[in-house]
Amino acid sequence: MSFGINFKYRDSNAQNLDRDLETFKNGKFYAASILNLNDPLECLINPKDITREINRYFSLAEKRLYWLEKPIKSNRELTDEVWVNSMREATGVGVFSLSRTCVDTAMWSYYGGSHTGYCVGFDVDDILIYQHEILGCISVEYSSELPKLKHNNYFETLSQLNKKTAQLELFSGREENTILKKSFLNSLYGRKSIAWAHEKEIRLIMQSPGLYSPKINPIKEIYFGMNCDISLLKAVEDSFKHIDVKLYKMNRGKNYSIVPSRIR
């Protein structure tokens, strides 16, 4: 599946501009902690779903893991530990949020400094080459209801584990928990309130928060807001003068729309 170019809106705050331009010039991006995301309702799951899935897993374990030396039934706390560890790891990832559109006037108002900032176009497919650090690329869906845990992937992973692996690592928080963590990603990070639907967000889920450097510079386009100052335009042009990046300026379009015009 190809994701193409997706967009990161930035304001023209002088305090952050030099840092951001240095980051973007070098093709880097920052994946934020969930604690720094701007929606306090991120990663909500109905507690009843968690209890139900733990019970399902325990029932499955009784049937399939009968060969463990120490009966799993007498170690119910281990079942809970798998889920707790997986949830802890899943909420410790880094999130790089992008939008599928660069012409949303509300997004320019919220994140683009009220149309005085700029918008950076990342080729997500170039970033995905850096796969060993990426846990997933999620196209966010929007709903008025909380997500449900998707237990099928979790169970399928368990059923594929061999005896030796399961005995040594199933409850240790090692590689299997990293695999199991992926089963939670779409549930935890793949749904937001319908109030955010205009953002048309995709998310790159990284192993941890921090700065990442893809092997190929993924920045292909930069758009300037309708009200951006000439000094911002010049600063960006200077930063990217030796880099093949297309530059655009937003202008008023038909009715309430905005349209980009290429300037380099």
Token duo for residue 188: 């935890």
* Cβ pair 253, 149 in contact under 8 A: no
pLDDT at 42: 83
Spatial distance between the Cα atoms of 263 and 247, rounded to a whole number of angstroms: 6
Give the model's confidence band at 167: pLDDT under 50 very low, under 70 low, under 90 confident, else very high: very low
* pLDDT one-digit tens code per residue, 70-79: 444 444 555 5
Q: Which residues of 80-114 are buried (b: 16+ CB within 10 A; e: fewer)?
A: ebbbebbbebbbebbbbbbbbebbbbebbeebbbe
Spatial distance between the Cα atoms of 32 and 198, rounded to a whole number of angstroms: 21
pLDDT at 78: 53
* Cβ pair 113, 5 in contact under 8 A: no
pLDDT at 63: 55
* pLDDT one-digit tens code per residue, 62-71: 555 544 444 4
